[in-house]
Chain A
């Protein structure tokens, strides 16, 4: 991993609310209780993480865990109390107001939980708003906004006002607006939490479709662990403002770093998360005969074939070559629970 691969990098980021947070001396050892004693509350505590180009990081935590505050620190909607946030090598805490506005006009887009649409503007005008702010001429920004609305499936609703649209449609407008400036970095703050479950699922599919089309660095906030598993390249789990674990969904499920993370994963059907490859052993010696299974599928997707296969060791195929050997008993144990 080279330096240029990292788009956003946080080092020891603290965000403390209270009387005089700037006078505090914050070290990794500072406790919540010590802060509370001086009338301060830490929303983000000593967070360090790197987000790579094109990666999708999901920040997961319950309400009050500081996840929304963290994303606001990354976008500098909030000024951090201590530490540094680097975006493409620039310390955004040191940017002037003009530079910050420039950064947001060109590189960043954000989607909000309750949409944050301007009530007095039509869907089209909302999407065109960031383009208008940076002074783009009317014809080109309207054309671009039309394209974006078509992209999110709202063709024909350009003239509607936000209150005339359903929640799901409003969030589509929010998504279109955040993408209008072709940002490299895309923040989504619980974008689907305000929607009912059926629409949420539909929007997640829509989101995956968009994500596949556009190569963007994405920070996605959610309190829904299933949503995190479904969408993430990596997941950061937060508790009381600190990151408990940051890892791939599989590793979070298979190797939770703390008891808190383990608690989340308990009720999860691991076979839907864990891919065959994660259970595989390296190829040592002869490859077993017969057909191979696709290594990239989850165990759940392969379940029928694993049960039907009688070989103790099953080869796994990845991109046309044997990538590992799956121990059938271990796979069955995970699928069905250990033999009684």
Chain B
């Protein structure tokens, strides 16, 4: 027996009156009438859940939801074998499907999900794609080397690799003083936050693109990485040619350790998807791709976080801080990311299964 409860004025309307069960001629109708009240109650609960007003559900409803769901599922199984009332069958089928999504849906709030994501899921996903990170890193290193060597052979390559807009004053033949000027510390932060927002938007789009291109077996992703890194290699050669390489690296490392890590991860995520499509192993292509895609999506979400960091670093410390401070910030960020990926969440298992 339930204790009598205070009636909530906003609670649902009482259920409609039941017709007399005994009067029903057909056995399947009696079956339906006996359970109809529970079905309607389940439908009401599910409708509220779908509307997202979980707080307005009473404790009683939440406790009863799994029970009502299982009852409806078994009613459906029985009705399929005993009833020919098409309307009832269709209703039950829809109801059980809808309730199934609610009972077995991802019932984790955004914030709890984020906490779990930062507290281990992300790091585990990154560790799980280590092989692809190695591949992507190789491609990036090869890109830098290629850019350097090409420009060292023939300085004309520089204009092919570095688009005019990116180059600014940094072109071959520029004097040491001019190049040093491009690395100089700015005097104030005016306009920098807008610049940061633009950089974030741009970099995030490139990262998502690198990931999405993995869909073509990962080849375009690797090409994108090589091309972008060739640009870096060409610039590095330019500064090295006038003896400014350490300053250039310091200037770059402030945000670069974060940004290149993010690009590396995004590329690796793309390669991961492509590699699993090309070599699905025991599983079917579709399921291997789906599994890889979900793991890669976790990595990608982390990339977006890293890019927000990178953009802020790029706009402020890079333009304002001096040589030593730049090196320290860059190395520190690198250390933070590395320890996050290597150390966090070692205890939990990678298999997410039912914890989702």
A, B: real partners: no
Please report B residues at the A interface, Cβ cutoff 8 Å.
none
